[in-house]
């Protein structure tokens, strides 16, 4: 009787192991961590407990990307969930749904609305980059594939994510803004100040979820039709460099976190003050640039508008 019970337990364990093995995807994409000290979490969400962190450049395997915001990854020594924007992979995205396909349209003039926007060989971030373009670059829109626009830039046919494309002529949009006497920098600074008191959330990029520093900058500029990078260290390459004596409201401050790595960003609002998503204790606050901690911290300035 005892021997039968042991045999039954062994069979149950074997069935369990088989089920576990076949429940894991048949492939694992390799990816590289693109942030500094990126948190690994117990589950898919910024509210889940942190179980560790990964350094910039660390290699991981993506085990599950069914949640578009949080990927389950593994590496030598552990596994857990990482915010997807902090992972880069060169392999093609998972196959699109059969319901999604290229929808052609009559060719229409358009332009790039972000900085360092990639033209890809297919509708996904895993496809090869055919070129990189910035705000105002002219293109022709020829169709849509899900959230991707089929475009032609400088004779190259490819795809650009829809958030980075606008239909029309860039010169006309700029002329209309100038004719209206717009001062986008001051408007952006004033708008950013309206979010003082919003909670800080790692990985957050909207008022509904809270903000981290780069998510705050990205959200504010997106409301005015501009696109900035999602990671602080990448924002240092957005827009144009500005000398300290030319600092104006609406400029982005990129603070160094040791050496030349930018680990924090905020928006200058004038009078020696900037607004930023500071930390989980303070949330979005205004801080002096001329006294206190940030007066001694090195930074560079980027002008997006």
- End-to-end C-alpha distance for the chain, whole angstroms: 80
222 vs 180: CA distance, rounded Å: 20
Residues forming beta bridges with residue 283, ordered by sequence position: 279
Q: Establish whether 213 is a catalytic residue.
A: yes
- Taking the C-alpha atoms of 239, 244, 246 and 248 in order, what is their torsion angle to the nearest 10 degrees? 70
| Residue 235 in tokens | 């924002």
Whether the CB-CB separation of 120 and 165 falls below 8 Å is answered with no
Q: Establish whether 88 is a catalytic residue.
A: no
Catalytic residue among 10, 101, 213, 254: 213
3-state DSSP assignment of residue 141: strand
232 vs 227: CA distance, rounded Å: 13
Q: Which residues contact 38 (CB under 8 A, 6 or more apart)?
A: 53, 54, 56, 82, 83, 86
Residue 271 CA from chain centroid, whole number: 30
Q: Establish whether 101 is a catalytic residue.
A: no
Element (H, E) at 186: helix 184-193
Q: Which residues are marked as active site? A: 213, 264, 276
């Amino acid at each position: 009787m005892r021997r039968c019970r042991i045999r039954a337990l062994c069979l149950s364990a074997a069935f369990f192991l088989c089920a576990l093995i076949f429940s894991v995807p048949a492939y694992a994409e390799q990816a590289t961590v693109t942030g500094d000290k990126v948190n690994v979490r117990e589950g898919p969400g910024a509210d889940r407990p942190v179980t560790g962190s990964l350094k910039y450049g660390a290699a991981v395997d993506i085990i599950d990307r069914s949640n578009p915001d949080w990927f389950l990854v593994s590496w030598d020594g552990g596994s857990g969930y990482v915010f997807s924007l902090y992972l880069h992979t060169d392999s093609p995205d998972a196959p699109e749904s059969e319901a999604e396909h290229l929808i052609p349209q009559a060719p229409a003039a358009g332009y790039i609305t972000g900085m360092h926007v990639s033209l890809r060989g297919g509708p996904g971030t895993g496809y090869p980059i055919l070129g990189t373009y910035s705000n105002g670059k002219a293109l022709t829109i020829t169709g849509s594939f899900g959230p991707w626009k089929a475009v032609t830039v400088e004779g190259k046919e490819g795809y650009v994510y829809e958030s980075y494309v606008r239909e029309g002529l860039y010169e006309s949009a700029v002329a209309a803004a100038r004719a209206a006497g717009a001062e986008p920098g001051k408007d952006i600074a004033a708008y950013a100040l309206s979010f003082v008191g919003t909670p800080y959330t790692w990985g957050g990029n909207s008022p509904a979820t809270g903000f981290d520093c780069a998510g705050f900058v990205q959200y504010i500029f997106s409301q005015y039709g501009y696109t900035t990078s999602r990671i602080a260290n990448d924002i240092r390459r957005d827009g144009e460099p500005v000398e300290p004596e030319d600092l104006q409201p609406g400029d982005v401050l990129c603070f160094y976190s040791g050496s030349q790595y930018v680990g924090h960003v905020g928006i200058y609002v004038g009078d020696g003050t900037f607004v930023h998503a500071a930390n989980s204790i303070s949330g979005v606050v205004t801080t002096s640039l001329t006294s206190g901690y940030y007066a001694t911290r090195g930074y560079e300035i980027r002008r997006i508008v």
